Amino acid sequence: MKTKQFSDLITKDSHKINKNQKKGFLTGVMYLSPANESDHQMCFDHTDGCETLCLGCTSGKMRFDSAKNARINRTDLFFDDREYFLELMDKELASIERKAEREGFTPSFRPNGCSDWPWENDAAHLMQKYSFPWYDYTKSFTRMKRYLDGKLPSNYHLLFSMSEDEQNQKDCVKVLNRGGNVAVVFWPHVPDTFKISNSRKDYKVNDGDVDDLRWLDEPSTIVGLIAKGWEARKDTSGFIQQMA
């Protein structure tokens, strides 16, 4: 099954993750297909808004056909030959760890650059082997509850993502009140505080575009992200929070 050609599974150089180096972290990120971009569903809790405006895959170089085809090929490999995929993942994580050691960084890894796959099910052994920080954004409240309950590997940090869905926004308040973090997309600027529609308080907002070190975020705060790409900035679904 190992016939499709693509670049490495893990991307080690991008504008966003390179910002982490200023704070001493060398980060790798793995871009698989979001939602049903491939023949496989990779985001079981996606909404129409987040699928249409997927920030990781609709802006910059990620919107080009070459990047899209690479995501699909990686995703197909994951489903066609999962054992081999995890072997490659293991080798590339080892490479990141060696590179970080050589260059004086602490390694870190984000397995879901575009997708929302529960890696705690398939790669728990790799999280144990590579005990440096792993982190992801997720729209799965089930996964987020398991994280807040301490049922995921201790080095795997999850950040909940807000969408236009009313139930999701209620879940965001639950996450924040339990000490978790919530990502919210804004345009044209990130506010200092933000009140989710069903909440009784304004929550502090940190600028999530400064770096991607999500496991270092202050508890019970919102991570604010600026909408990327013209389509996102024109969103009327409610996924993007339009600021005056």
Quick one: which of 132, 138, 29 has its CA closest to 74?
A: 29
**What phi, psi does 66 have (nearest 5°)?**
-60, -40
Per-residue pLDDT of the chain (244 residues; tens, 9 = 90+): 444 555 699 999 888 899 999 999 999 999 999 977 888 999 888 776 676 666 456 555 555 677 899 999 999 999 999 999 999 999 999 999 999 999 999 999 999 999 999 999 999 999 999 999 999 999 999 999 999 999 999 999 999 999 999 999 999 999 999 999 999 999 999 999 999 988 989 999 999 999 999 999 999 999 999 998 777 777 878 899 999 7
**What phi, psi does 122 have (nearest 5°)?**
-100, -25
DSSP state, residue 20: G
- The helix/strand/coil state of 99 is helix
Quick one: which of 35, 122, 134 has its CA closest to 87?
A: 122
**Alpha-carbon distance 123 to 119, whole Å?**
5
**Alpha-carbon distance 166 to 180, whole Å?**
19
Helix (H) or strand (E) holding 194: strand 193-194
User: Helical H runs in 41-165?
Assistant: 48-52, 65-80, 82-103, 119-122, 124-129, 141-148
Where do we find the tokens 């080892």?
94
Q: What is the pLDDT of residue 38?
A: 87
Helix (H) or strand (E) holding 158: strand 156-161
Q: Domain boundaries in the chain?
A: 10-242
| pTM, entire model | 0.91
